[in-house]
Amino acid sequence: MQHTRMTRRGLGAGLLTGLAAPAIAQSQSASAWPDRPVRLIVPFGAGGAIDTLSRTVAQRFSEFANGQSLVVENRSGAGGTVAGGFVAREKPDGYTLMMADVGSNAIGKLLNPGLAYDPATAFTPIIHLVNLPGVVIAHPSVTVKDLPDLIAQAKARPGAFTYSSAGIGNGSHLFMALLLRQAGVEMVHVPYRSGAEMVTALVRGDAQFGFPTVSSALQMIRGGQAKAIAVSTAEETPALPGIPPVARTIPGFNLAVWHGIMAPAEMEPALASRINTVFARVAALPEVQEAVFRAQAGRMVGGSPKDFADHIAREIARWEPLIREGGFKVE
């Protein structure tokens, strides 16, 4: 845009040539990326939903990346912000990337004002890869037929029910907190350290309700150890046929756990575009889309770096009032 304005003002050709040279060099550098293996930092441990997604993508990365590999590196801790802090300090050269998560790359500073980096300024968004639906689940002993019944029972017995989550500020916490606020009901929150722990706690009967991802709960639902009540997305998911969306009871409710690719801040736009193109080609593969849906009920998204940046801005705007009003803090 700057080059265009200067041209309209009639600046000399020599000045334009001087300005164009760095852009040409950047473009050539971007087209050569990658010329060595690329690290993908995952903010949670091996075996979880975000790790599974990362390894699915990594399997096909080299086909579109000059034959170079994508090396998955798990750096868990502090709700994903250990990984976020690590990536934020790296060079924006395209060789250290991060599989983004809402905590480490969007709302971490809201939950922990003392966080050493600000997710809003510490990263370059590259591409929004996937949305994973959530599902409201109940222990089989709970006499709840559907979401309207759940709301009615909770209103009749304020604070009598508990719900488990994978930790303060995790999607499973935020999704349920938003649902309860919009429904005008109260439950006691019992946070755990992971999605697996929260689902196990519900299966044991330590909590009556939960709002995990479909992939985290699907085995328990199919085995009769948990009861599916409603899904978080605006439409039903084929992974749970017949389970209605929350939006049929609370209009406008439409949430998904999202992941994508982030790079350190101040990456050159040409390089960000090149990386976006590589991951977009991986995400467009029918085999990758099928694998992500089969394992996680997820939908690949795609789009430009700006699309992802806009999505993250909307997520921060969505969750900031809930976090502030609820007093949610992670020390």
- pLDDT at position 19 is 46
Q: Residue 309 in contact with residue 99, Cβ under 8 Å?
A: no
pLDDT digits (tens, 9 = 90+) for 49-84: 889 999 999 999 999 999 999 999 999 888 889 999
Can you tell me the mean pLDDT for 283-298? Answer: 95
Round the average pLDDT of the chain to a whole number and report it: 90
pTM of the model: 0.87
Residues 6+ apart with CB under 8 A from 321: none
Render pLDDT for 8-65 as a digit per residue (tens, 0 to 9).
Answer: 334 344 444 444 445 444 556 788 999 999 999 999 888 888 899 999 999 999 999 9
Q: Is 202 helix (H, G, I), strand (E, B) or coil?
A: helix
* Rounded alpha-carbon distances, angstroms, from residue 267 to 32, 95, 134, 189, 281: 15, 11, 33, 40, 21
- Give me 226's structure tokens: 């948990």
The CA distance from 170 to 259, in Å, is 13
Provide CB contacts within 8 A for 136, sequence distance 6+: 147, 150, 176, 179, 209, 210, 211, 228, 229, 230, 231, 232, 246
Dihedral angle over CA of 149, 152, 157, 158, nearest 10: 120
Q: How far apart are CA 285 and CA 153, in angstroms?
A: 45
pLDDT tens digit string along 314-330? 999 999 999 999 999 88
- Contact between residue 139 and residue 295 where contact means Cβ atoms under 8 Å apart: no
pLDDT digits (tens, 9 = 90+) for 81-118: 999 999 999 999 999 999 999 999 999 999 999 999 99
Given this model, what pLDDT does residue 126 score? 98
What pLDDT, on the 0 to 100 scale, is given for residue 3?
41
Intra-chain end-to-end CA distance of the chain, in Å = 43
Q: How far is CA 247 from CA 53, 147, 171, 233, 236, in A?
A: 27, 10, 18, 8, 10
Question: Does an H or E element contain 259, and which?
Answer: strand 257-264
Q: What is the pLDDT of residue 194?
A: 80
Check residue 86 and report its DSSP letter.
H
